[in-house]
């Protein structure tokens, strides 16, 4: 009897506390419980998660034509290109790729990665036996890209970490008579934090001077965008905007429990897990109706379709000054969480895996005859670049 195929995951980076990271670890738990050998191969990982991963270059040793690679695609990477060239079967799990124009002025490297990702994904149309979007919005994007066999592997966030005790220091700092407006997410261009700040400014100056804005999310990677935001805060003369940075679970719980309103102005989301977290923590949500946000909210919360700060500020005041309306919003949001959690993520994932492994396999990927020679050369160059940069930059330029 032949051994059972392994089902591994491969992705560019495994982040701590982000939606993709939670999903990857959740998929691994489901697969291992079902008896599959399942490892996570990455190019980079948060130091707190490195022990849970393997370097993507080890895929070459773990490869087997009967294995299945679940390839999480969000940006172009060396891990993606390595996985492409292996004989393993492959399914794509698509988290969407943010349009690079959101980063062009503030983070050229990320803009370049997103551009390459949107270009490279076309190569996977004939490489993947199935393409799974983690939302209907993302599935429709896969269809537009040319993938023929698509489906939705729903995001069903594990919210148990939000049931732990809140950080007492954060609670003591902000638990007062002031109104707390919250946004949770990376401080990055597509999130349009500048619009959150402008809307808060209108609310703060027109309706409630005893209000503050708390933005909880990593900004250390996006210094130029963060600098522009702090400049905007200073230009508007705001004294009560707090950038919390990358927070722990206990700190995040405290911010949700302190929040009176969750305000989201993001223009590009593949799903947006913080909306569901706010639902779960019974924080009324007011969000801009863009991309996947309306589907994620599933008829709950309040959506707006114009970003005029005066208009949004009036909506904020309408919610915050009406306790009965807040209770009604929270009740609808909790119903939406129940509908989401009722989805059978484990069963859906395993059905897709069984369907792929039991179907006739596609042909081997078409790659250049010297791909692995190029692979080895690039790895050697990368080692020189990291550990002997002066020697690397002394190398002759590639001929035109």
- pLDDT tens per residue across span 343-389: 999 999 999 999 999 998 887 777 664 555 555 565 566 666 666 77
CATH at residue 303: 3.40.50.2000
State whether 37 and 102 are in the same domain. yes
337 vs 357: CA distance, rounded Å: 32
Sign (positive/negative) of CA torsion 286, 289, 291, 292? positive
Q: Check if the beta carbon of residue 312 is closer than 8 Å to that of residue 304.
A: yes
Given this model, what pLDDT does residue 100 score?
A: 86
Q: 220: helix, coil or strand?
A: coil
Report helix, strand or coil for 291: coil
Helix (H) or strand (E) holding 60: helix 59-62
Residues 6+ apart with CB under 8 A from 368: 374
Strand partners, 87: none
Pick from 324, 341, 358: which residue ends a domain? 341
The whole-chain average pLDDT of the chain stands at 90
In a domain, 382, yes or no: no
Decide: 51 and 24 in contact? Cβ < 8 Å: no
**Nearest in space to 82 (alpha carbons), one of 7, 10, 5, 8:** 10
pLDDT at 59 over 80: yes
Question: What is the extent of the structural domain holding 202?
Answer: 169-341
Joined tokens for residue 153: 């592997």
pLDDT tens digit sequence for 188-239: 999 999 999 999 999 999 999 999 999 999 887 788 999 999 999 999 999 9
pLDDT at 318 over 80: yes
- Position 320 scores a pLDDT of 98
Position 378 scores a pLDDT of: 59
**Number of domains within the chain:** 2
d(CA 143, CA 334): 32
Tell me, yes or no, whether 392 lies in a domain. no
Clarify whether residues 86 and 143 are in a common domain: yes
Longest dimension (CA), the chain: 73
pLDDT score, position 383: 66
Whether residue 97 is found in the same domain as residue 51: yes
User: Is residue 204 domain-shared with residue 93, that is, in the same domain?
Assistant: no
d(CA 132, CA 16): 23
Q: Does residue 318 share a domain with residue 196? A: yes
Are residues 191 and 132 located together in one domain of the fold? no
* Per-residue pLDDT tens over the stretch 164-190: 999 999 999 999 999 999 999 999 999
In a domain? residue 398: no
Q: Which pLDDT belongs to residue 156?
A: 87
Task: Answer yes or no: are the C-beta atoms of 51 and 36 closer than 8 Å.
Answer: no
pLDDT reported for residue 21: 86
For residues 361 and 214, state if they share a domain: no
Decide: 348 and 153 in contact? Cβ < 8 Å.
yes
């Amino acid at each position: 009897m032949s051994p059972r195929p392994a089902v591994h995951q491969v992705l560019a980076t495994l982040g701590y506390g982000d939606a993709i990271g939670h999903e990857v670890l959740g998929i691994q738990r489901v697969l291992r419980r079902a008896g599959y050998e399942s490892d996570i191969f990455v190019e980079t990982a948060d130091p707190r998660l490195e022990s849970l991963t393997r370097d993507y270059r080890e895929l070459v040793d773990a490869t087997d034509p009967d294995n299945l690679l679940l390839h999480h695609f969000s940006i172009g990477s060396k891990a993606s290109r390595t996985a492409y060239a292996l004989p393993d079967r492959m399914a794509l799990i698509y988290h969407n790729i943010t349009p690079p124009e959101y980063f062009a002025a503030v983070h050229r490297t990320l803009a370049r990665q997103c551009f390459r990702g949107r270009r490279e994904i076309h190569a996977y149309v004939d490489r993947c036996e199935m393409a799974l979007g983690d939302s209907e919005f993302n599935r429709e994007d896969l269809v537009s890209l040319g993938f023929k066999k698509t489906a939705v592997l729903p995001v069903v966030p594990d919210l148990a970490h939000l049931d732990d005790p809140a950080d007492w220091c954060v609670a003591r700092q902000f638990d007062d008579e002031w109104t707390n407006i919250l946004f949770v997410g990376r401080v990055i261009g597509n999130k349009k934090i500048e619009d959150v700040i402008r809307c808060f400014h209108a609310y703060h100056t027109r309706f409630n001077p005893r209000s503050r804005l708390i933005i909880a999310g990593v900004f250390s990677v996006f210094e130029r965008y963060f600098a522009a935001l702090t400049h905007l805060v200073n230009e508007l003369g705001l004294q009560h905007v707090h950038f919390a940075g990358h927070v722990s679970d206990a700190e995040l719980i405290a911010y949700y429990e302190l929040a009176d309103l969750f305000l989201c102005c993001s223009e590009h989301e593949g799903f947006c897990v913080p909306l569901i977290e706010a639902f779960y923590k019974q924080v009324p949500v007011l969000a801009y109706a863009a991309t996947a946000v309306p589907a994620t909210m599933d008829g709950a919360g309040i959506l707006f379709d114009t970003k005029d700060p005066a208009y949004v500020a009036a909506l904020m005041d309408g919610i915050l000054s009406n306790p009965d309306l807040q209770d009604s919003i929270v009740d609808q949001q909790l119903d939406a969480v129940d509908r989401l959690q009722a989805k059978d993520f484990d069963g859906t994932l395993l059905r897709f895996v069984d369907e792929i492994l039991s179907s006739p396999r596609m042909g081997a990927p078409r790659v250049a005859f010297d791909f692995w020679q190029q692979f080895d050369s690039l790895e050697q160059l990368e080692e020189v670049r990291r550990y002997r940069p002066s020697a690397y930059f002394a190398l002759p330029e590639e001929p035109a």
